């Protein structure tokens, strides 16, 4: 049984805490939190520590704090030579203090406070400084998800950028769709099945094969009519740029 300590109380930390508490193959030893009130509903009081000196001995320490705080927290740890990982998509492994054996344990998913996630569908991007630690990280990840990938810090950086495109920017396009509906007295609900199907389609087709629309078929008349229709200058700029990008990619 792998013994785990989680350092942090944010969104990702909370989801990991719940996942490890439900896992038969990992034991959550402790959670370090400066603000234990945030955790009272998901973890027994006796597992929470507020002093970093009080950290118990474990196989793996997971630092799940904001990117800016990772370096400082890693250097405050009162021990050396143990396996310490962070959960950030954008920070390199080397961001942490080298006094411990370093690794990365990055769940590639969008976590919301008010929405449960199923860890079985979450890919874990794993990286370790020492080869022998990789197996431990893999075993820990497999205790909550079958999807594990060996991803270097350089690849993780790329993946984080890709995730911004397919998650943050996609959601922003949903917002624009919502705005357009709202200004025209149309319920946004009408777009929801289309949004789901768009995401579902590329589970089996490549995005290139799944591409449709006026830009893809170079339908200049429709593109012009859409551009005339859009009044908001930022929306118009986005429409024009993405249309050009599709035309160039498929031209």
Q: Name the pairing type of β-strands 124-128 and 101-107.
A: antiparallel
User: Using CB under 8 A, which of 22, 50, 110, 218 touches its own copies?
Assistant: 110
176 binds its own copies, rule: CB under 8 A:
yes
Binding segment (CB under 8 A) for its own copies, from list 17-25, 26-34, 94-102, 150-158: 150-158
Cα torsion through 52, 80, 149, 2, rounded to 10: -70
105 is a site residue for its own copies (CB under 8 A): no
The residue among 32 and 106 lying less far from its own copies, judged by its C-beta, is 106
Instruction: Give the footprint of its own copies on residues 179-208 (CB under 8 A).
Output: 180-181, 183-208
Q: How far is the CB of 134 from its own copies (least distance, A)?
A: 17
Distance from C-alpha of 235 to C-alpha of 239, rounded to nearest angstrom: 6
Report the SS3 class of residue 197: helix
Does 34 engage in binding with its own copies (CB under 8 A)?
A: no
What token pair was written down for 237? 């700029």
Q: What angle do helix axes 233-250 and 220-229 make, rounded to 10 degrees? A: 160
Nearest approach, Cβ of 116 to its own copies (angstroms)?
11
| Interface with its own copies in residues 56-85 (CB under 8 A) | 67
Euclidean distance between CA atoms 121 and 110, whole angstroms: 12
Contacting residue, 82, 97, 147, 153, with its own copies by CB under 8 A: 147
SS3 95: helix
Closest separation between CB of residue 232 and its own copies, Å?
10
Q: How many CA atoms lie within 13 A of 86 on its CB side?
A: 24
Judged by CB under 8 A, the number of residues near its own copies is: 92
Among 52, 54, 162, 220, binds its own copies (CB under 8 A): 162
Residue count of the chain, please give it. Answer: 251
Nearer CB in complex with its own copies: 45/112: 112
Q: How far is the CB of 57 from its own copies (least distance, A)?
A: 33
117 binds its own copies (CB under 8 A): yes
Q: Does 220 bind its own copies (CB under 8 A)?
A: no
CA distances, 110 to each of 45, 64, 121 (Å): 27, 15, 12
């Amino acid at each position: 049984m792998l013994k785990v300590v989680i350092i942090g109380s944010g969104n990702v930390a909370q989801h990991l805490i719940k996942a490890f508490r439900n896992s038969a193959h990992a034991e959550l030893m402790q959670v370090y939190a400066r603000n234990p009130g945030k955790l009272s509903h998901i973890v027994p009081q006796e597992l929470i520590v507020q002093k970093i000196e009080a950290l118990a001995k474990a196989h793996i320490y997971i630092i799940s704090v904001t990117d800016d705080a990772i370096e400082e927290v890693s250097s405050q740890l009162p021990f050396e030579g143990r396996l310490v990982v962070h959960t950030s998509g954008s920070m390199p492994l080397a961001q942490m203090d080298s006094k411990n054996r370093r690794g990365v344990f990055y769940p590639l998913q969008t976590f919301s406070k008010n929405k449960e996630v199923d860890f079985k569908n979450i890919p874990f991007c794993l990286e370790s400084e020492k080869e022998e630690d990789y197996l431990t990280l893999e075993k820990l990840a497999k205790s909550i998800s079958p999807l594990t990938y060996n991803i270097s810090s350089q690849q993780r950086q790329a993946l984080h950028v890709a995730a911004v495109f397919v998650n943050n920017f996609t959601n922003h396009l949903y917002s624009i769709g919502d705005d357009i509906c709202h200004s025209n007295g149309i319920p946004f609900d009408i777009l929801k099945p289309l949004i789901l199907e768009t995401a579902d389609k590329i589970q089996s087709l490549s995005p290139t094969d799944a591409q449709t629309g006026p830009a893809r078929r170079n339908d200049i008349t429709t593109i012009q009519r859409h551009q005339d229709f859009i009044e908001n200058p930022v929306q118009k700029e986005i429409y024009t740029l993405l249309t050009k990008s599709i035309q160039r990619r498929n031209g």
